[in-house]
Amino acid sequence: MKRKLGVDTGKYATKCVMRRSREYHDTDKQIKFLTRMDSNELNFGGLQGEMYSVEFEGKKYRVGEGADYESFSDSKAENIHKICLYTAIALAVDNGDNVSLGIGCPINIFVNKDARESYQRYMIGDKDITIRVEGQIHYFHIDSIFVCPESAGVVYLYYEKYKDKIVGVIDIGGLNTNCGVYNHIVPEHRTLFTTRLGGKIMRKELLDLLNEKLALSVPIQDYQMDDILKDGYVRNRRDNSVEELSRKIIKDYKRTHIQNIYESCIQKSWSLDTIDLIFIGGASLYFREEIKEIFGVNDDAFFEDSDMLNAKGFLRAIE
């Protein structure tokens, strides 16, 4: 059977959206798991979250939540992204399916034709894929592959809304922030850029900063950061002053982070006050208030499902 998939193998999470060919009128299927991988065979059963036992080309992996390794490399042409891509496809399709695939790459790779084609060859070296996931063999054929610039997914997805507009898209992803101005859907090449100002960089720098400034007897751990970012402060039962100080540290850091993105756009000749701006990517909602203040936008510039927009847009692009 023919399947159409959009897959975004981000540095933080892998997202996949699937639809059959149009004549079947099937509803979308969505898959999401953390872009993490290791070779550890430790299994926590039902407590392991969205994690999968995977075997590919004779090697065994754990993929998803609970796995130890996550990439901080600028490149997407890595084994972790290939294994996560194949795992997502295997979870979405049936054995023997023919797959039309839309995937993304960082803008700095997309604008270089040789780099883009090299990335495509690496990710889909063999169009006939066999992979074992959770003990089950999955096999499928990649009919076609379309590589999209990260950040473009939202304009593809909402084509009717943006086809007659100039819009600046700022995609705050896991590792990078990908930015581009789209003029009636067509990217303005001189405005396209990628910078290492993504959520994982912010998270790591902020963790180090909190531990340095708060000087707690037991340092804050990475696994606490999601709750700390959601709350906006660090809880401490023994010292109430930690909450107040941590609030200021987090607020100041987030503001500086967004100011750096703003200044990067200015350097790329973005006319920020005279074009529509939209913010996507899983980390964009962490910075909503700072973005509204510094970029002068309102809540209409954000999407609640922002982490899924690229995958959905890549699917729309191949349709």
Question: In the prediction, which pLDDT does 47 show?
Answer: 44
Query: In terms of Cα–Cα distance, which of 190, 206, 210 is closest to 198?
Result: 206
Q: Where are the domains of the chain?
A: 2-149, 162-303
What's the pLDDT tens digit per position in 198-241?
Answer: 888 888 999 999 999 999 999 999 889 989 998 999 999 989 89
**Predicted confidence (pLDDT) at residue 315 exceeds the cutoff of 90:** yes
Return the CATH number of the domain spanning residue range 162-303. 3.30.420.40
Same fold for the domain at 2-149 and the one at 162-303? yes
Average pLDDT over residues 42-71: 81
Question: In the prediction, which pLDDT does 114 show?
Answer: 93
CATH 3.30.420.40 fits 2-149, yes or no: yes
Average pLDDT over residues 278-282: 92
Which sign does the torsion angle of CA 283, 284, 287, 291 carry? positive
Mean pLDDT of the chain: 90
**Predicted confidence (pLDDT) at residue 60 exceeds the cutoff of 60:** yes
Question: In the prediction, which pLDDT does 45 show?
Answer: 53
Question: In the prediction, which pLDDT does 43 show?
Answer: 59
- CA-CA distance, 270 to 275, in Å (whole number)? 9
- Residue 319 pLDDT grade (very low, low, confident, very high; cuts 50, 70, 90): confident
- Residue 57 pLDDT grade (very low, low, confident, very high; cuts 50, 70, 90): very high
What's the pLDDT tens digit per position in 110-132?
Answer: 889 999 999 999 998 889 999 99
Q: Which residues of 202-239 are buried (b: 16+ CB within 10 A; e: fewer)?
A: bbeebbeebeeebeeeeebeeeebeebbeeebbeeeee
- Residue 26 pLDDT grade (very low, low, confident, very high; cuts 50, 70, 90): low
- CA-CA distance, 201 to 173, in Å (whole number)? 10
CA 153 to chain CA centroid, nearest Å: 11
What's the pLDDT tens digit per position in 246-278?
Answer: 999 999 999 999 999 999 999 999 999 999 999
